[in-house]
Amino acid sequence: METECYETMMDSMPEAGGGYTYRKVLRVDLERDRCTVLKSDPEGWQPGEGPLSGQMSRFALSGAIHREDAERFVTFTRLDSLRRVASGEQEALTLVYRRRVGDGFRWNLMEVIPDRSGGTRYATLCVKDVDDVFREGVEREGLAARSREMIR
By 3-state DSSP, what share of the chain in percent is helix, strand and coil, each rounded to 5? 40, 30, 30
- For the segment 91-105, the average pLDDT, to the nearest whole number, is 90
In this predicted structure, what is the pLDDT of residue 139? Answer: 58
pLDDT tens, position by position, 9-34: 444 344 444 445 889 999 999 999 99
The answer for residues whose C-beta is within 8 angstroms of residue 48's C-beta and 6 or more apart is 55
Q: How much is the mean pLDDT over the chain?
A: 80
CB 124 within 8 A of CB 115: yes
In this predicted structure, what is the pLDDT of residue 74? Answer: 96
In this predicted structure, what is the pLDDT of residue 3? Answer: 37
- For the segment 34-61, the average pLDDT, to the nearest whole number, is 91
Query: Taking every pair of C-alpha atoms in the chain, what is the biggest distance, in angstroms?
Result: 63
CB 139 within 8 A of CB 35: no
Share of the chain above pLDDT 90, in %: 47
Within 10 Å of residue 127's Cβ, how many Cβ atoms?
22
pLDDT tens, position by position, 102-151: 999 999 999 998 877 767 789 999 999 999 887 776 556 655 555 555 56
In 3-state terms, what secondary structure has residue 34? strand
User: What is the residue-wise DSSP string for 78-126?
Assistant: SHHHHHHHHHTSSS-EEEEEEEEETTEEEEEEEEEEE-GGGTTSEEEEE
Length of the chain: 152
